[in-house]
Amino acid sequence: MRPLKIFLASLGFRKSVLGATPPLGIMYVAAYIRQKFNVEIRIINQKLNNISDDEIVKQAEEFEADVVGLSMLTTNAYSLPYITRNLKATLPAALVVLGGPHASAFGKKSLEDNLADVAVPYEGELTFEALINAYFEGGDISEVPGIFRRTEDGIVANPGVIPLVEDIDTLPFPAYDLIDLKAYWKVNAMTPIMHMKYAPLFSSRGCPFKCIYCHRIFGDRFRVHSAQRIFEEMKFYIKRYGADSFEIYDDIFNHDRKRMFEVCGLIGKLENKVKLFFPNGLRMDELNKNSIDSLADAGMRYCACPLESGSPRIQKFMGKRLDIQKYLENVEYIASKKIFTQGFVMMGFPSETEEDLKQTMDVACQSRLHVATVFILTPFPNTEVYDIVLKRHPEKLRNICYDDKEYLNMKHNFSDVSDGMLFYYQRKANRNFYLNANRVFRILRDFPQTHRLPTYIPEFFKRISQGIY
Ligand code: B12
Ligand code: SF4
């Protein structure tokens, strides 16, 4: 019998300094599904070569897909109406499924402006399996828990919750054979570094913290790949592709400190040294000097250090509850090892006052961070902060356009200060932060690709003029 043909595409264009990273979500789903069914799978990442929407549809048609799975961030969902309309025209019998962060954030609404058949929110492996079973193996799609689907009577939410994989070590390695890993080495990774021989890792799922701006795609329970599994995965990429670097995208890689020490210890056993990059951040107040030493010895070169707010009151309000003193101490210690540190800062929370903004600016500027990005809060549906804003300023949410945006360029204001003041502090924080001779010296000394720094000059001017134009 002909295998079932599954076409998986990650959508969105690469426009700014942001890179293109291997589409781990659909690679995990593909690797899992091909263990369960007789399938042929093709994976496309639009960001890699910025191929057109028409090209995506054409490739799905040429492949004669029975199922088209589309994965996207909310910022990349704008092409869904066009792509799904054309898919339905060229492949009328194919099942079109949405998944990934956008389906998780928008849920039922993710099906509203397009012609996809089903949306799978949150973790995808088990639900995609259940969906294929139901649709192609004689089951009942209305019994697949937690999905949204289009029916003749409108969009329906199936009862039940999306099942999570209990032991994530049972999942196979992401389907690397279905992408051209080395093609990603020619563009920026998530870390703004090019020509890095890297493989991405996502070694834990779920998060026990309760930040009000986060829609935890992988649920509340922290589940990890064992240190041994991570080590095996690393060895595989080193041997098979010649990788010498790893980008770790975990939300809180260091939450399980014992595992973190084990991983670092195993890395020490590798024949050749590797470099580690944490562009999605480590939880700074869960580190100490020992753990930082261990990460540094294992090869950490770049580390994002999420601060979000320097105001203890806003820390409490946003549910992150970061210990700011520990944050500053640990950033200082990491930076003293010449490991490049990038701060993430957020301004514009509901109830945020001038005093809070000032505290945030002061903490960022007094820190030893090399660089910092000051974002304006952008509420996503399915988060607590979205519901808060919906109560306080419903009119402001009506105007939000997520299309093709970066948080950095958002111009909304959900705080208690005027627009002028919010953007003034965003600008001022950038200026005070960067117009510092010592910081500039450390950037030049520690950035892993100094020769590429001039390419960031336009970005710098954009930041220090934020909100003026
Ligand atoms: C790598 C990464 C990037 C990469 C590219 C990601 C991509 N796919 O295009 C880059 C650096 C470009 C990037 C940019 C941004 N990112 Co980003 N990024 C990540 C990060 C750190 C890791 C993604 C990853 O590999 N996850 C691991 C895989 C296994 O998870 P997954 O993709 O979600 O897949 C699972 C499920 O979602 C589902 N699934 C996924 N696809 C499909 C498809 C089908 C058919 C099915 C059934 C299931 C399914 O199954 C998978 C396995 O269980 C995540 C954080 C996170 N925890 O995921 C943020 C995250 C995806 N980013 C986010 C954001 C907000 C951004 C920015 C807007 C930030 C900014 N700078 O302003 C920009 C986007 C700018 C733009 N205009 O494009 C948000 C997305 C929120 C949303 N609703 O879209 C996340 C979730 C972070 C967060 N917690 O808020 N990002
Ligand atoms: S720590 Fe990160 S993943 Fe966890 S709730 Fe907060 S933002 Fe979300």
Confidence of residue 461 (pLDDT cuts 50, 70, 90): confident
Distance CA 96, CA 90 (A): 12
Question: Are 107 and 381 within 8 A, CB to CB?
Answer: yes
In sequence order, what are the beta bridge partners of 10?
45, 71
Distance CA 125, CA 29 (A): 5
pLDDT at 407: 66
* Cβ atoms within 10 Å, residue 56: 23
pLDDT at 440: 93
Nearest-atom index, ligand 2, CA of 283: 1
**Is residue 465 pLDDT above 80, yes or no?**
no
CA of 349 from ligand 2 middle (Å) equals 16
C-alpha torsion sign, points 76, 77, 83, 84? positive
**Which helix (H) or strand (E) covers residue 339, if one does?**
none
Q: Stretch 16-37: mean pLDDT, rounded?
A: 94
CA of 25 from ligand 1 middle (Å) equals 8
pLDDT, tens only, 324-338: 999 999 999 999 999
Q: Stretch 96-107: mean pLDDT, rounded?
A: 97
User: What CATH number does domain 4-157 carry, 2.40.37.10, 2.20.140.10, 3.40.50.720, 3.40.50.280?
Assistant: 3.40.50.280
Q: Is 279 near ligand 1, meaning CB less than 6 Å away? A: no
- 208 alpha carbon, closest ligand: 2
DSSP character for 279? T
Distance CA 197, CA 275 (A): 10
CA of 214 from ligand 2 middle (Å) equals 6
> Which residues, in sequence order, are CB contacts of 231 under 8 Å at separation 6+?
263, 266, 267
**Residue with the nearest Cα to atom 2 of ligand 2?**
251
Q: Is 101 near ligand 1, meaning CB less than 6 Å away? A: yes
Q: Is 215 near ligand 2, meaning CB less than 6 Å away? A: no
Question: Are 380 and 105 within 8 A, CB to CB?
Answer: yes
pLDDT at 1: 80
pLDDT, tens only, 32-69: 999 999 999 999 999 999 999 999 999 999 999 999 99
Distance CA 336, CA 344 (A): 19
pLDDT at 296: 98
Confidence of residue 468 (pLDDT cuts 50, 70, 90): low
Q: Is 282 near ligand 2, meaning CB less than 6 Å away? A: no
Q: Is 97 near ligand 1, meaning CB less than 6 Å away? A: yes
Q: Over the chain, what is the mean pLDDT? A: 95
Q: Is 22 near ligand 1, meaning CB less than 6 Å away? A: no
Distance CA 133, CA 135 (A): 6
pLDDT at 339: 98
Nearest-atom index, ligand 1, CA of 25: 34
Closest among 15, 17, 87 to 46, alpha carbons compared = 15
Count CA atoms closer than 13 A to 294's CA, side-chain side. Answer: 17
CA of 191 from ligand 2 middle (Å) equals 19
Q: Where are the alpha helices (DSSP H) in 75-217?
A: 80-90, 101-106, 125-136
**Is residue 17 pLDDT above 80, yes or no?**
no
308 torsion bin: left (phi>0), alpha (psi -120 to 50), beta (else): left
pLDDT at 232: 97
pLDDT, tens only, 402-447: 887 776 677 889 999 999 999 999 999 999 999 999 999 999 999 9
Distance CA 180, CA 76 (A): 22
Question: Are 144 and 158 within 8 A, CB to CB?
Answer: yes
Q: Which of 222, 251, 255, 407 to mutate to test the pocket of ligand 2 (most atoms within 8 A of CB)?
A: 251
Check for a shared fold between 4-157 and 188-464: no
**Residue with the nearest Cα to atom 8 of ligand 2?**
214
The whole-angstrom distance between residue 11's C-alpha and the CA centroid of its chain comes to 14
Please indicate whether residue 468 or residue 331 has the higher confidence score (pLDDT). 331
Q: Is 214 near ligand 1, meaning CB less than 6 Å away? A: yes
Please indicate whether residue 346 or residue 405 has the higher confidence score (pLDDT). 346
Share of the chain above pLDDT 90, in %: 87
Please indicate whether residue 409 or residue 113 has the higher confidence score (pLDDT). 113
**Is residue 150 pLDDT above 80, yes or no?**
yes
> What would the two tokens of residue 468 be?
């003026």
pLDDT at 457: 83
Q: Is 125 near ligand 1, meaning CB less than 6 Å away? A: yes
**Is residue 194 pLDDT above 90, yes or no?**
no
**Is residue 199 pLDDT above 80, yes or no?**
yes
Q: Stretch 28-32: mean pLDDT, rounded?
A: 98
Distance CA 349, CA 386 (A): 11
Q: Which of 73, 277, 303 to mutate to test the pocket of ligand 1 (most atoms within 8 A of CB)?
A: 73
pTM of the predicted protein model: 0.96
Q: Where are the domains of the chain?
A: 4-157, 188-464
CA of 90 from ligand 2 middle (Å) equals 40
Q: Is 24 near ligand 1, meaning CB less than 6 Å away? A: yes
Q: At CA 58, angle to CA 56 and CA 63, rounded to 5?
A: 95
CA of 248 from ligand 1 middle (Å) equals 13
Confidence of residue 469 (pLDDT cuts 50, 70, 90): low
Q: Is 120 near ligand 1, meaning CB less than 6 Å away? A: yes
pLDDT at 463: 75
CA of 215 from ligand 2 middle (Å) equals 8
Distance CA 159, CA 285 (A): 39
CATH architecture of the domain covering 188-464: Alpha-Beta Horseshoe (3.80)
DSSP character for 42? E
**Is residue 94 pLDDT above 90, yes or no?**
yes
Confidence of residue 459 (pLDDT cuts 50, 70, 90): confident
From residue 404, how far is each of 16, 77, 146 by CA, in Å?
Answer: 10, 8, 28
pLDDT at 467: 60
**Is residue 92 pLDDT above 80, yes or no?**
yes
Distance CA 43, CA 65 (A): 12
CA of 71 from ligand 1 middle (Å) equals 9
Locus of tokens 């005027």: 418
CA dihedral in degrees (415, 416, 422, 424; nearest 10)?
Answer: -170
